[in-house]
Amino acid sequence: MNADDFPTPDADVESVTPETLKGRIDDGESVTILDARMSSDYDEWRIDGENVESINVPYFQFLEDDIDDEVFESIPDDRELTVLCAKGGASEYVAGTLADEGYDVDHLEDGMNGWARIYETVEVTDYDGAGTLLQYQRPSSGCLGYLVYDDGEAAVIDPLRAFTDRYLDDAEELGVDLQYALDTHIHADHISGVRDLAGEGVEGVIPAAAVDRGVTYADELTTADDGDEFQVGDATIETVATPGHTTGMTSYLVDDSLLATGDGLFIESVARPDLEEGDEGAPDAARMLYDSLQERVLTLPDDTLVAGAHFSDSAVPADDGTYTAPIGQLVAEMDALTMEKDDFVETVLADMPPRPANYEEIIATNLGQNTVDDEEAFTLELGPNNCAASQESLAGD
Protein backbone atom coordinates (compact mmCIF):
# COMPACT_ATOMS: atom_id res chain seq x y z
CA MET A 1 0.00 0.00 0.00
CA ASN A 2 1.27 3.44 -0.91
CA ALA A 3 1.63 5.72 2.13
CA ASP A 4 -0.57 8.29 0.40
CA ASP A 5 -3.40 5.74 0.21
CA PHE A 6 -3.78 5.14 3.95
CA PRO A 7 -7.26 5.93 5.25
CA THR A 8 -7.74 8.76 7.71
CA PRO A 9 -7.87 7.19 11.20
CA ASP A 10 -11.04 7.33 13.28
CA ALA A 11 -9.17 8.79 16.22
CA ASP A 12 -8.36 12.51 16.26
CA VAL A 13 -4.58 12.48 15.90
CA GLU A 14 -2.56 15.68 16.22
CA SER A 15 0.43 16.36 14.02
CA VAL A 16 3.67 17.94 15.17
CA THR A 17 5.83 20.01 12.85
CA PRO A 18 9.45 19.01 12.26
CA GLU A 19 10.56 22.34 13.75
CA THR A 20 8.58 21.67 16.94
CA LEU A 21 10.06 18.20 17.29
CA LYS A 22 13.56 19.58 16.70
CA GLY A 23 12.94 22.22 19.39
CA ARG A 24 11.89 19.58 21.91
CA ILE A 25 15.03 17.57 21.21
CA ASP A 26 17.27 20.66 21.41
CA ASP A 27 15.69 21.63 24.74
CA GLY A 28 16.71 18.28 26.22
CA GLU A 29 13.18 16.92 26.52
CA SER A 30 12.93 13.13 26.52
CA VAL A 31 11.44 12.17 23.17
CA THR A 32 10.20 8.72 22.13
CA ILE A 33 9.87 8.16 18.40
CA LEU A 34 8.08 5.26 16.77
CA ASP A 35 9.56 5.05 13.28
CA ALA A 36 7.10 3.22 11.00
CA ARG A 37 9.35 3.01 7.94
CA MET A 38 10.83 -0.23 6.64
CA SER A 39 13.72 -1.51 8.73
CA SER A 40 16.22 -1.03 5.88
CA ASP A 41 15.35 2.69 5.68
CA TYR A 42 15.44 2.99 9.46
CA ASP A 43 18.87 1.37 9.73
CA GLU A 44 20.30 3.75 7.12
CA TRP A 45 18.86 7.04 8.38
CA ARG A 46 16.80 8.08 11.40
CA ILE A 47 16.35 10.78 14.02
CA ASP A 48 18.74 10.21 16.92
CA GLY A 49 19.98 12.07 19.97
CA GLU A 50 21.08 11.54 23.55
CA ASN A 51 17.55 12.25 24.76
CA VAL A 52 15.81 10.40 21.91
CA GLU A 53 14.53 6.85 22.20
CA SER A 54 13.80 5.46 18.75
CA ILE A 55 11.75 2.33 18.10
CA ASN A 56 11.23 0.77 14.68
CA VAL A 57 7.90 -0.96 13.99
CA PRO A 58 7.17 -0.97 10.24
CA TYR A 59 3.72 0.30 9.27
CA PHE A 60 2.63 -2.98 7.61
CA GLN A 61 2.44 -4.59 11.04
CA PHE A 62 -0.58 -2.36 11.74
CA LEU A 63 -2.48 -3.35 8.60
CA GLU A 64 -3.79 -6.66 9.88
CA ASP A 65 -7.38 -6.86 11.09
CA ASP A 66 -6.08 -8.59 14.21
CA ILE A 67 -2.77 -6.92 15.12
CA ASP A 68 -0.34 -9.22 16.89
CA ASP A 69 -0.15 -8.54 20.63
CA GLU A 70 3.66 -8.53 20.36
CA VAL A 71 3.42 -5.34 18.31
CA PHE A 72 1.78 -3.44 21.16
CA GLU A 73 4.04 -5.07 23.74
CA SER A 74 7.05 -3.60 21.92
CA ILE A 75 5.68 -0.06 22.17
CA PRO A 76 5.83 1.77 25.55
CA ASP A 77 2.46 3.03 26.79
CA ASP A 78 3.71 5.13 29.69
CA ARG A 79 4.84 8.18 27.72
CA GLU A 80 4.00 10.38 24.75
CA LEU A 81 4.94 8.94 21.36
CA THR A 82 5.67 10.65 18.06
CA VAL A 83 5.12 8.41 15.05
CA LEU A 84 6.93 9.14 11.81
CA CYS A 85 7.25 7.65 8.35
CA ALA A 86 8.68 8.88 5.05
CA LYS A 87 6.02 11.45 4.07
CA GLY A 88 3.40 11.51 6.85
CA GLY A 89 0.64 9.27 5.47
CA ALA A 90 1.51 5.96 7.11
CA SER A 91 2.42 7.64 10.39
CA GLU A 92 -1.00 9.27 10.70
CA TYR A 93 -2.65 5.88 10.21
CA VAL A 94 -0.33 4.15 12.72
CA ALA A 95 -0.80 6.95 15.26
CA GLY A 96 -4.56 6.67 14.90
CA THR A 97 -4.42 2.94 15.49
CA LEU A 98 -2.37 3.50 18.64
CA ALA A 99 -4.69 6.26 19.83
CA ASP A 100 -7.59 3.81 19.55
CA GLU A 101 -5.61 1.57 21.90
CA GLY A 102 -5.23 4.34 24.46
CA TYR A 103 -1.72 5.56 23.61
CA ASP A 104 -0.75 9.23 24.03
CA VAL A 105 0.46 9.79 20.49
CA ASP A 106 0.95 12.32 17.68
CA HIS A 107 2.66 12.04 14.30
CA LEU A 108 5.36 13.98 12.47
CA GLU A 109 4.00 16.24 9.76
CA ASP A 110 5.47 15.32 6.35
CA GLY A 111 7.62 12.62 7.94
CA MET A 112 11.33 12.41 7.22
CA ASN A 113 10.80 14.55 4.11
CA GLY A 114 9.66 17.33 6.44
CA TRP A 115 12.63 16.68 8.74
CA ALA A 116 14.93 17.12 5.72
CA ARG A 117 13.51 20.61 5.11
CA ILE A 118 14.76 21.97 8.45
CA TYR A 119 17.54 24.47 7.78
CA GLU A 120 18.79 26.58 10.68
CA THR A 121 21.24 29.46 10.97
CA VAL A 122 23.62 30.00 13.87
CA GLU A 123 26.10 32.86 14.15
CA VAL A 124 29.77 31.91 14.45
CA THR A 125 30.61 34.14 17.39
CA ASP A 126 34.31 33.19 17.43
CA TYR A 127 34.73 34.52 13.91
CA ASP A 128 36.75 37.75 14.25
CA GLY A 129 37.01 38.88 10.64
CA ALA A 130 35.12 41.74 9.06
CA GLY A 131 31.35 41.53 9.09
CA THR A 132 29.25 38.65 10.39
CA LEU A 133 29.43 34.96 9.57
CA LEU A 134 26.51 32.54 9.86
CA GLN A 135 26.54 28.76 9.67
CA TYR A 136 23.63 26.99 7.95
CA GLN A 137 22.82 23.62 9.52
CA ARG A 138 20.69 20.85 8.00
CA PRO A 139 20.26 18.30 10.82
CA SER A 140 18.75 15.58 8.63
CA SER A 141 21.95 15.07 6.64
CA GLY A 142 24.53 17.07 8.56
CA CYS A 143 25.07 19.50 5.67
CA LEU A 144 26.67 22.83 6.59
CA GLY A 145 26.95 26.06 4.63
CA TYR A 146 28.09 29.60 5.39
CA LEU A 147 26.92 33.15 4.81
CA VAL A 148 29.35 36.02 5.35
CA TYR A 149 28.06 39.56 5.04
CA ASP A 150 29.49 43.03 5.55
CA ASP A 151 28.73 46.56 4.43
CA GLY A 152 25.72 45.62 2.33
CA GLU A 153 27.31 42.65 0.56
CA ALA A 154 27.20 38.89 1.16
CA ALA A 155 28.51 35.54 -0.07
CA VAL A 156 27.24 32.03 0.54
CA ILE A 157 29.57 29.02 0.59
CA ASP A 158 28.34 25.52 -0.32
CA PRO A 159 24.67 26.42 -0.91
CA LEU A 160 22.07 23.68 -1.39
CA ARG A 161 19.68 23.76 -4.34
CA ALA A 162 16.75 22.88 -2.07
CA PHE A 163 17.24 26.15 -0.18
CA THR A 164 17.91 28.57 -3.03
CA ASP A 165 15.02 30.81 -2.03
CA ARG A 166 16.16 30.75 1.59
CA TYR A 167 19.51 32.38 0.79
CA LEU A 168 17.85 35.09 -1.24
CA ASP A 169 15.25 35.70 1.46
CA ASP A 170 17.93 35.83 4.18
CA ALA A 171 19.95 38.35 2.20
CA GLU A 172 16.88 40.51 1.68
CA GLU A 173 15.98 40.34 5.36
CA LEU A 174 19.53 41.31 6.33
CA GLY A 175 19.49 44.19 3.83
CA VAL A 176 22.49 42.89 1.87
CA ASP A 177 23.16 42.06 -1.76
CA LEU A 178 24.12 38.42 -2.29
CA GLN A 179 27.19 38.85 -4.48
CA TYR A 180 28.72 35.37 -4.63
CA ALA A 181 27.73 31.71 -4.34
CA LEU A 182 30.84 29.55 -3.98
CA ASP A 183 31.20 25.77 -4.10
CA THR A 184 34.16 24.05 -2.46
CA HIS A 185 33.98 21.05 -4.82
CA ILE A 186 31.70 18.79 -6.84
CA HIS A 187 29.52 17.43 -4.06
CA ALA A 188 28.54 13.76 -3.87
CA ASP A 189 25.79 13.90 -1.24
CA HIS A 190 23.58 16.85 -2.20
CA ILE A 191 22.64 18.94 -5.21
CA SER A 192 24.51 22.25 -5.33
CA GLY A 193 22.61 25.51 -5.39
CA VAL A 194 25.33 27.55 -7.13
CA ARG A 195 23.80 27.36 -10.62
CA ASP A 196 20.30 28.15 -9.36
CA LEU A 197 21.59 31.21 -7.51
CA ALA A 198 23.52 32.24 -10.62
CA GLY A 199 20.21 32.15 -12.44
CA GLU A 200 18.96 34.71 -9.91
CA GLY A 201 21.80 37.12 -10.68
CA VAL A 202 24.34 35.94 -8.09
CA GLU A 203 27.91 35.37 -9.32
CA GLY A 204 28.43 31.60 -9.17
CA VAL A 205 31.93 30.36 -8.37
CA ILE A 206 33.36 26.85 -8.74
CA PRO A 207 36.98 25.70 -8.34
CA ALA A 208 38.92 25.80 -11.59
CA ALA A 209 40.53 22.52 -10.57
CA ALA A 210 37.12 20.82 -10.65
CA VAL A 211 36.34 21.66 -14.26
CA ASP A 212 38.36 18.78 -15.73
CA ARG A 213 36.06 16.27 -14.05
CA GLY A 214 33.56 17.04 -16.80
CA VAL A 215 31.75 20.18 -15.66
CA THR A 216 29.48 21.20 -18.53
CA TYR A 217 28.62 24.72 -17.41
CA ALA A 218 32.02 26.18 -16.45
CA ASP A 219 31.76 28.93 -19.08
CA GLU A 220 28.61 30.22 -17.38
CA LEU A 221 30.28 30.74 -13.98
CA THR A 222 33.45 32.15 -12.46
CA THR A 223 36.23 29.62 -11.91
CA ALA A 224 38.46 30.16 -8.89
CA ASP A 225 42.17 29.34 -8.94
CA ASP A 226 44.36 28.91 -5.88
CA GLY A 227 45.03 32.34 -4.37
CA ASP A 228 42.09 34.11 -6.01
CA GLU A 229 40.22 36.51 -3.76
CA PHE A 230 36.62 37.69 -3.54
CA GLN A 231 35.66 40.84 -1.67
CA VAL A 232 32.53 41.06 0.47
CA GLY A 233 32.44 44.49 2.04
CA ASP A 234 35.70 44.63 3.99
CA ALA A 235 35.91 40.84 4.27
CA THR A 236 38.21 38.92 1.91
CA ILE A 237 37.51 35.35 0.84
CA GLU A 238 40.72 33.67 -0.36
CA THR A 239 40.75 30.50 -2.45
CA VAL A 240 42.96 27.74 -0.99
CA ALA A 241 43.50 24.58 -3.05
CA THR A 242 43.17 21.52 -0.79
CA PRO A 243 42.81 18.45 -3.07
CA GLY A 244 42.28 15.00 -1.61
CA HIS A 245 38.60 14.33 -1.07
CA THR A 246 38.40 15.25 -4.76
CA THR A 247 41.08 16.53 -7.13
CA GLY A 248 39.27 19.88 -7.24
CA MET A 249 38.62 20.17 -3.51
CA THR A 250 39.01 23.83 -2.50
CA SER A 251 38.79 25.64 0.81
CA TYR A 252 37.91 29.30 1.33
CA LEU A 253 39.71 31.37 3.95
CA VAL A 254 37.31 34.03 5.18
CA ASP A 255 39.17 37.15 6.29
CA ASP A 256 42.03 35.13 7.82
CA SER A 257 39.69 33.94 10.57
CA LEU A 258 37.73 30.92 9.33
CA LEU A 259 38.62 28.25 6.79
CA ALA A 260 35.57 26.74 5.07
CA THR A 261 37.11 23.34 4.33
CA GLY A 262 34.27 21.74 2.39
CA ASP A 263 34.72 17.98 2.72
CA GLY A 264 38.47 18.10 3.32
CA LEU A 265 38.47 18.39 7.10
CA PHE A 266 35.64 18.18 9.60
CA ILE A 267 35.72 18.88 13.32
CA GLU A 268 35.50 15.14 14.07
CA SER A 269 37.22 13.52 11.09
CA VAL A 270 38.91 13.92 7.73
CA ALA A 271 37.54 13.33 4.25
CA ARG A 272 37.07 9.97 2.61
CA PRO A 273 39.20 9.73 -0.56
CA ASP A 274 37.25 7.24 -2.69
CA LEU A 275 34.29 9.13 -4.17
CA GLU A 276 36.00 10.42 -7.32
CA GLU A 277 38.21 7.54 -8.49
CA GLY A 278 36.77 4.69 -6.40
CA ASP A 279 38.81 2.13 -4.46
CA GLU A 280 41.55 2.05 -7.10
CA GLY A 281 42.29 5.75 -6.87
CA ALA A 282 41.71 6.10 -3.12
CA PRO A 283 45.34 5.55 -1.98
CA ASP A 284 46.68 8.34 -4.22
CA ALA A 285 43.81 10.60 -3.14
CA ALA A 286 44.56 9.88 0.52
CA ARG A 287 48.19 10.86 0.00
CA MET A 288 47.03 14.04 -1.72
CA LEU A 289 44.71 14.75 1.21
CA TYR A 290 47.56 14.31 3.69
CA ASP A 291 49.70 16.82 1.82
CA SER A 292 46.85 19.32 1.66
CA LEU A 293 46.18 19.06 5.37
CA GLN A 294 49.83 19.30 6.37
CA GLU A 295 50.88 21.99 3.89
CA ARG A 296 47.77 24.12 3.33
CA VAL A 297 45.57 23.78 6.41
CA LEU A 298 47.67 22.99 9.48
CA THR A 299 50.19 25.70 8.58
CA LEU A 300 47.54 28.34 9.36
CA PRO A 301 47.51 29.91 12.84
CA ASP A 302 46.17 27.64 15.59
CA ASP A 303 43.23 29.95 16.28
CA THR A 304 41.95 29.75 12.69
CA LEU A 305 38.50 28.19 12.80
CA VAL A 306 37.87 25.06 10.76
CA ALA A 307 34.36 24.95 9.31
CA GLY A 308 33.53 21.88 7.24
CA ALA A 309 30.59 21.21 4.93
CA HIS A 310 29.24 18.43 7.16
CA PHE A 311 28.89 17.22 10.72
CA SER A 312 28.08 13.75 12.03
CA ASP A 313 26.32 12.48 15.14
CA SER A 314 29.71 12.27 16.87
CA ALA A 315 30.51 15.95 16.30
CA VAL A 316 30.37 18.14 19.41
CA PRO A 317 29.31 21.73 18.65
CA ALA A 318 31.22 24.71 19.98
CA ASP A 319 29.82 26.88 22.77
CA ASP A 320 28.08 29.08 20.18
CA GLY A 321 26.22 26.07 18.76
CA THR A 322 28.20 25.93 15.52
CA TYR A 323 30.18 22.99 14.22
CA THR A 324 33.49 24.83 14.15
CA ALA A 325 36.77 24.39 16.02
CA PRO A 326 40.21 26.03 16.06
CA ILE A 327 42.95 24.24 14.15
CA GLY A 328 45.03 23.93 17.31
CA GLN A 329 42.21 22.10 19.08
CA LEU A 330 41.77 19.66 16.21
CA VAL A 331 45.49 18.88 16.11
CA ALA A 332 45.38 18.12 19.83
CA GLU A 333 42.28 15.94 19.59
CA MET A 334 42.53 14.13 16.24
CA ASP A 335 45.28 11.54 15.88
CA ALA A 336 44.99 11.59 12.09
CA LEU A 337 46.44 15.10 11.98
CA THR A 338 49.73 14.10 13.63
CA MET A 339 50.35 10.77 11.86
CA GLU A 340 53.09 10.10 9.35
CA LYS A 341 51.83 9.89 5.78
CA ASP A 342 51.90 6.09 5.41
CA ASP A 343 50.05 5.61 8.70
CA PHE A 344 47.50 8.25 7.73
CA VAL A 345 46.79 6.59 4.38
CA GLU A 346 46.48 3.15 5.93
CA THR A 347 44.16 4.40 8.64
CA VAL A 348 41.92 6.40 6.32
CA LEU A 349 41.50 3.48 3.94
CA ALA A 350 41.01 0.83 6.62
CA ASP A 351 37.43 1.54 7.69
CA MET A 352 35.36 3.73 5.40
CA PRO A 353 31.59 3.91 5.81
CA PRO A 354 29.15 3.09 2.98
CA ARG A 355 29.19 5.59 0.16
CA PRO A 356 26.41 8.20 0.10
CA ALA A 357 23.13 7.03 -1.37
CA ASN A 358 22.71 7.96 -5.05
CA TYR A 359 26.17 9.53 -5.05
CA GLU A 360 26.94 8.74 -8.68
CA GLU A 361 23.72 10.37 -9.88
CA ILE A 362 24.27 13.34 -7.56
CA ILE A 363 27.81 13.84 -8.91
CA ALA A 364 26.54 13.64 -12.48
CA THR A 365 23.88 16.24 -11.67
CA ASN A 366 26.41 18.56 -10.07
CA LEU A 367 28.67 18.18 -13.12
CA GLY A 368 25.76 19.23 -15.32
CA GLN A 369 25.70 15.85 -17.09
CA ASN A 370 22.35 14.84 -15.58
CA THR A 371 19.19 16.94 -15.32
CA VAL A 372 16.63 16.48 -12.54
CA ASP A 373 13.70 18.58 -11.38
CA ASP A 374 13.49 20.06 -7.90
CA GLU A 375 11.50 17.18 -6.42
CA GLU A 376 13.84 14.53 -7.78
CA ALA A 377 16.86 16.53 -6.63
CA PHE A 378 15.42 16.70 -3.11
CA THR A 379 14.72 12.96 -3.09
CA LEU A 380 18.19 12.05 -4.34
CA GLU A 381 19.91 13.67 -1.38
CA LEU A 382 17.73 12.25 1.40
CA GLY A 383 19.71 10.27 3.95
CA PRO A 384 23.09 10.48 5.66
CA ASN A 385 26.00 12.21 3.91
CA ASN A 386 28.80 9.68 4.64
CA CYS A 387 31.48 11.96 3.16
CA ALA A 388 33.91 11.51 6.05
CA ALA A 389 36.25 8.66 6.88
CA SER A 390 35.50 6.64 10.00
CA GLN A 391 35.56 8.85 13.10
CA GLU A 392 36.48 5.93 15.37
CA SER A 393 39.68 5.15 13.54
CA LEU A 394 40.86 8.75 13.20
CA ALA A 395 39.99 10.41 16.50
CA GLY A 396 42.11 10.48 19.61
CA ASP A 397 41.27 8.86 22.91
> Phi first, then psi: what are they for 358, rounded to 5°?
60, 20
> Phi first, then psi: what are they for 7, rounded to 5°?
-70, 155
Q: Starting from the edge strand earliest in sequence, which strands make up the sheet with 132-138, in order?
A: 120-123, 132-138, 143-150, 153-157, 177-182, 203-207, 222-224
Annotated catalytic residue, options 57, 85, 315, 327: 85
Q: Which residues pair with 245 in a beta bridge?
A: none
85 has catalytic annotation: yes
First to last CA, the chain: 48
Distance (Å) of CA 269 to CA 78, 255, 307, 314, 347: 39, 24, 12, 10, 12
Half-sphere exposure in the Cβ direction for 135 (13 Å, CA):
31
What is d(CA 273, CA 349) in angstroms, rounded to the nearest whole number? Answer: 8
Q: Would you call 224 exposed, middle or buried from its count of C-beta atoms within 10 A (0-12, 13-18, 19+)?
A: buried
Q: Starting from the edge strand earliest in sequence, which strands make up the sheet with 235-241, in order?
A: 229-232, 235-241, 250-254, 258-262, 305-308, 325-326
What is d(CA 183, CA 197) in angstroms, rounded to the nearest whole number? Answer: 12
Q: Which residues form the catalytic set?
A: 85
